[in-house]
């Protein structure tokens, strides 16, 4: 039996390595357009994983993610910039993440008490109030036009296009360099989030989600755990914000609006609530799909060139129809999201290959967060 586990582990490690190598390839082939989409997707994935922790484990819903992204993005820009303390950029990154966590902590009087969809809407308030502050506190945020983001510099290596760098004959500009930073941050998020899910507090939160009363009886401090989940989720959002800021190279308040928050909610639901892999898939779906569709929609039949005729369907419109329809279709046919879809496909494949079902012990798929088996709750 132990042999078997070792075999699985080795295989897993090999798969992991292969995936890692494959993820390192794009900067050598794809141009800045694709790399930017990739960077946006990675940042979104980091934020979505944070939100997945909150909703999937603590059963909480947040529509305030855009606010915490903004705290991370602006926090980094302010800490490392001028006006601002002008700290070394490598120090500004963790501090910005802590700032986002602190903002989440300040919100804990609400986050600890308000539940489910109510918390979602309460956090919505943060987005609007935050946007107001971003526009008004001009000395810190630069007001409407935002601020330039200082490039990150790690031990003499700077993530921008300034000093020329060529790797294997390919010129490495800002996007190429940031790609690897994005990968590293994403890997960090992926492994810490999975660790957290399996840790003692993670299990306490899952108990909380399944039954608040039962968890309380078992000695889980409900409000404290809820607030803690909120803080952790905010910190991931802050990290995502930092990466976004670096990818955008300029932060503007209008980006961090309601639409962004709703996008994050869509990511975790489309991915499948409560799973790290699902959140990643959902993030790529919501971030990359509209961008790619807009880019390639003019290849579709019946789509007119932008601005050509009165009342014709332009590429952007076509892309929006397709994107909206994709959301509806995915969730109609896979209510448990992309993660559930993948799991079912894998199960079917495996069943076909080996008639005896082998439980995948190494990947304890997080319990279906679906409240299908959940005791009915009292709606206020």
321 binds another protein (CB under 8 A): yes
From the CB of 274, what's the least distance to another protein, in Å? Answer: 10
Q: How many residues contact another protein, by CB under 8 A?
A: 108
- Identify whether 83 is preceded by a cis peptide bond (ω within 30 of 0): yes
Helix ranges (DSSP H) in 253-333: 258-271, 276-296, 315-333
Q: Which is nearer to another protein, 87 or 327 (CB)?
A: 327
Of 93-101, 192-200, 224-232, 244-252: span binding another protein (CB under 8 A): 244-252
User: Cα separation of 306 and 311, whole Å?
Assistant: 11
303: how many CB neighbours lie within 10 A of its CB? 18
Buried b / exposed e over 122-159, threshold 16 CB at 10 Å, is bbbebbeebbeebeeeeebbbeeebbebbbbeeeeebb
Q: Which is nearer to another protein, 301 or 332 (CB)?
A: 332
| Among 165, 221, 248, 342, interactor with another protein by CB under 8 A | 248
Q: Tokens at residue 229, please?
A: 């989940």
Strand-strand pairing, 170-171 and 250-251: unpaired
Restricting to residues 27-56, which ones interact with another protein according to CB under 8 A? 28-33, 35-37, 40
360 binds another protein (CB under 8 A): no
- Name the strand (E) or helix (H) holding 233: helix 222-248
From the CB of 331, what's the least distance to another protein, in Å? Answer: 5
223 binds another protein (CB under 8 A): no
From the CB of 380, what's the least distance to another protein, in Å? Answer: 4
Restricting to residues 53-92, which ones interact with another protein according to CB under 8 A? 61
371 binds another protein (CB under 8 A): yes
| Among 25, 139, 299, 302, interactor with another protein by CB under 8 A | 25
Residue by residue, DSSP assigns 241-263 as HHHHHHHHSEE-GGGSSHHHHHH
Q: Are 239 and 246 in contact (CB under 8 A)?
A: no
Site string for another protein, 136-175 (x = CB under 8 A): x------xxxx-x------------x------xxxx---x
Q: What share of the chain is helix, strand, coil (3-state, %, to 5)?
A: 70, 5, 25
**Helices 276-296 & 32-52, crossing angle to 10 degrees?**
150
Of 85-93, 178-186, 226-234, 263-271: span binding another protein (CB under 8 A): 263-271
Q: Which is nearer to another protein, 85 or 324 (CB)?
A: 324
Restricting to residues 324-353, which ones interact with another protein according to CB under 8 A? 324-328, 331-332, 335, 337
Q: Pick the closest to residue 247 from 157, 159, 144 (CA basis).
A: 159
125 binds another protein (CB under 8 A): yes
Restricting to residues 195-214, which ones interact with another protein according to CB under 8 A? 212-213
């Amino acid at each position: 039996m132990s042999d078997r586990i070792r075999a699985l582990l080795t295989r897993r490690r090999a798969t992991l390595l292969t995936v890692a190598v494959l993820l390192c390839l794009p900067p050598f082939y794809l141009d800045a357009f694709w790399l930017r989409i990739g960077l946006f997707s990675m940042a979104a994935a980091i934020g979505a994983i944070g939100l997945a922790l909150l909703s999937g484990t603590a059963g909480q819903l947040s529509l305030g993610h855009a606010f915490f992204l903004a705290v991370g993005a602006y926090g980094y820009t302010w800490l490392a910039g001028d006006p601002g303390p002008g700290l070394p950029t490598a120090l500004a990154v963790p501090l910005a993440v802590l700032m986002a966590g602190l903002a989440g902590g300040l919100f804990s009087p609400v986050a600890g008490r308000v539940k489910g969809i109510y918390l979602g809407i309460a956090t919505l308030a943060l987005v609007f109030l935050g946007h107001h502050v971003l526009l008004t506190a001009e000395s810190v945020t630069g007001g409407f036009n935002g601020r330039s983001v200082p490039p990150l510099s790690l031990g003499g290596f700077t993530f921008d296009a300034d000093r020329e760098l060529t790797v294997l004959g390919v010129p490495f500009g800002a996007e190429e360099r940031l790609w690897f930073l994005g990968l590293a941050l994403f890997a960090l998020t992926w492994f810490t989030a999975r660790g957290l899910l399996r840790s003692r507090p993670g299990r306490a939160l899952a108990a909380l989600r399944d039954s608040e009363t039962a968890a309380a009886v078992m000695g889980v401090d409900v409000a404290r755990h809820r607030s803690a989940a909120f803080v952790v989720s905010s910190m991931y959002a802050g990290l995502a914000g930092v990466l976004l800021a670096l990818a955008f190279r300029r932060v503007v308040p209008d980006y961090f609006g309601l639409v962004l928050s709703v996008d994050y909610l869509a990511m975790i639901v489309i991915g499948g609530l409560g799973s790290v892999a699902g959140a990643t898939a959902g993030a790529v779906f919501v971030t990359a799909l509209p961008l790619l569709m807009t880019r390639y929609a003019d290849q579709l039949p019946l789509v007119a060139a932008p601005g050509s005729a009165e009342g014709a369907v332009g590429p952007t419109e076509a892309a929006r129809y397709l994107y909206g329809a994709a959301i509806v279709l995915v969730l109609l046919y896979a209510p448990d999201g992309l993660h559930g879809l993948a799991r079912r496909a894998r199960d079917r494949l495996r069943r076909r290959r080996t008639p005896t079902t082998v439980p995948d012990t190494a990947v304890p798929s997080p319990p279906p967060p679906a409240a299908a088996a959940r005791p009915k709750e009292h709606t206020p």
